[in-house]
Structure 1
Amino acid sequence: SSPVRVRFRPSALRSSCWSFTLFLVTFSRHLSTAVATNGTESVDIYIGAGCFWHVQLVLNKAEEKVLGRDGSSVTGITGYAGGKDNGGSVCYDNYGKKGHTEVVFMRAPRDKLPSIAQAAWSGLFNDGERQDLANKGSPYRAAIGFRGGKFGSPELAKVFDDVAGGQASLEAGSGNEEDTLKQRRLLVYDMDTFPFHQAELYHQFHDYQGGWRNQLQGDGRLHDVDCPNELVAMLKSPVVIALISGIGFCCLVCAASFGWKYFQQKFRRNGQTPLP
């Protein structure tokens, strides 16, 4: 009998490869859907509502209560986001000029996000307005951020819309907005377009669990940033500049008044009529 010959057909191999690739793509989609459905998928978000010291306190406590986290697993850290200028270092002395607002980043399981959102809403807002009324201006506007933003991830936007309960409107953020105070607005940013920038170490865990700062820094969850130190940053802040300018002006006025009285007394001692 004649030997059997097996002929190699490249077209058949290509067809098999395409079929296998299609299977892998379909399987991975089903797998990711199953993970999301089971709630084990982690979601990255950031939230801003005034000074980020207090926002971090509220979110860290929510992580403890809702997620059972501590210093070894907590994720909420302070930073800046929402600005159009994301080049170079974003620091305390320039984040406002770059259009950013103060926020706190955290990572949470998708199925726990409604509980985290509820804790944030009740701890940071009253009747649709942020509780922090002392800090005003664009760097303190109310905001949330996640990948896709309001229109790219409508299911995440709905979580925050539900906890707001109609007390505030969720609006897609375009960057560099003015303050939202007394407007009952919550800006929603796409994290891919408006990324999170970690704040300086001295801004981390300022109002709660200060020891966690060293713990997160030790295991790489916090890092040094290329920014001025705390003293330099404070001296360059608008509030301190205004305060120093005010003190300088008062000193100048006092010096001028003292000098004027001195010359008047000198004229009197010399028997001259003092100037009016």
Structure 2
Amino acid sequence: MLKKSLLLFSAACASASAESVSVYFGNGCFFDQQHTMVTRFEKLLLKRSGSDVTSVSAYAGGDSSSSDLCYHNEGEVEDYGKLGHAEVVELFIPDDKSLKDAAKVFFEDFTQLAPGQWTRQDVFDLGPEYRALVGIPGGVSGPYYSAIVEANSEVHNLNLKEGQGGDDDTIDTGVVWVMDSLKFPAYQAEVCLQFSDDNPAFSEPYSEKYHSLRDALFEEGTLRNTTCPTNYIC
């Protein structure tokens, strides 16, 4: 568990700077979160494209370890939800300023219910699997927490709380769990769940160029096949 999160990202690490750090964000279904981080952060702000993109759908925040975590499947094999994990997107950040920028993109994705009350846009997916969380090395006690706090204060000023693993859903509460990604690392989701369209109730189908990132990152080695059985989506 104390190993560097997602060793499967070794190719992405090689292409990133030596100072790059792995972080993750989750808030509802990871299909929308991945598209947001690719288009509004990596491409727009970091000017990354093609196989340089590092945003990968993953599972994180649970208090159990496994070589692979899996989406809901008939045999309930390593089911991420039953093991206390949530859907997240993991990516590599080059510096503190970029982490703050990424966090601002994340916080901007919340919807206001009433003055001072915020929730996620994905209101159809309920339960701890869709809770809001941020994963950074060291969590609230680490060197990157100040960037998260600054970003939060400049957007909606949500309620940041230290995550303990397997935490509750956060819908309608304005809570964001802050996880120590060294204790609660992310695990890549199945390849077939990468760069997929979101719920049609929220958005139009994404572009073919966006979908093609799945093959680009697989060929680069950023994505790998998992040992998971066929799931209810793929």
Q: Distance in 2 between matches of 1:132 and 1:99?
A: 19
Superposition deviation, residue 151 in structure 1: 1.7
Residues 1:49 and 2:27 are matched in the alignment: yes
Where does residue 92 of structure 1 map in the other structure? 71
1:58 match: secondary structure: helix
Residues 1:113 and 2:87 are matched in the alignment: no
Where does residue 144 of structure 1 map in the other structure? 134
1:234 match: secondary structure: coil
Q: Would the alpha carbon gap of residues 160 and 40 (structure 1) be closer, same or farther in structure 2, given more than 3 Å must change?
A: farther
Q: Distance in 2 between matches of 1:175 and 1:130?
A: 20
Superposition deviation, residue 114 in structure 1: 2.0
2:176 match: secondary structure: strand
Is the 1:89–1:227 contact (alpha carbons within 8 Å) kept by the matching residues of 2?
A: yes
| Stretches (4+) displaced over 3 A | none
Superposition deviation, residue 40 in structure 1: 8.1
Residues 1:104 and 2:89 are matched in the alignment: yes
Where does residue 171 of structure 1 map in the other structure? 161
Structure 1 or 2: more helix by fraction: 1
Where does residue 61 of structure 2 map in the other structure? 82
Superposition deviation, residue 157 in structure 1: 3.4
Where does residue 264 of structure 1 map in the other structure? none
Where does residue 198 of structure 1 map in the other structure? 188
Superposition deviation, residue 177 in structure 1: 1.2
Q: Distance in 2 between matches of 1:57 and 1:91?
A: 20
Is the 2:103–2:148 contact (alpha carbons within 8 Å) kept by the matching residues of 1?
A: no
1:102 match: secondary structure: strand
Where does residue 38 of structure 2 map in the other structure? 60
Is the 1:47–1:104 contact (alpha carbons within 8 Å) kept by the matching residues of 2?
A: yes
Where does residue 28 of structure 1 map in the other structure? none
Q: Distance in 1 between matches of 2:180 and 2:64?
A: 15
One-letter amino acid of the counterpart of residue 72, structure 1 = S
Residues 1:155 and 2:146 are matched in the alignment: yes
Where does residue 261 of structure 1 map in the other structure? none
Superposition deviation, residue 119 in structure 1: 1.8
Where does residue 217 of structure 2 map in the other structure? 216
Q: Would the alpha carbon gap of residues 196 and 163 (structure 1) be closer, same or farther in structure 2, given more than 3 Å must change?
A: farther
Q: Distance in 2 between matches of 1:40 and 1:224?
A: 26
1:177 match: secondary structure: coil
Q: Which has the larger radius of gyration?
A: 1
Q: Distance in 1 between matches of 2:25 and 2:102?
A: 11
1:66 match: secondary structure: coil
TM-score, normalization: structure 2? 0.77
Residues 1:180 and 2:170 are matched in the alignment: yes
Identity %: 35
Report the number of matched residues.
193
- What does the per-residue CA deviation read over 1:227-269, in whole Å, with 9 as the maximum and x for residues that have no partner? 012xxx218xxxxxxxxxxxxxxxxxxxxxxxxxxxxxxxxxx
1:72 match: secondary structure: helix
Q: Distance in 1 between matches of 2:139 and 2:155?
A: 17
Is the 1:149–1:157 contact (alpha carbons within 8 Å) kept by the matching residues of 2?
A: no
Q: Distance in 2 between matches of 1:159 and 1:194?
A: 23
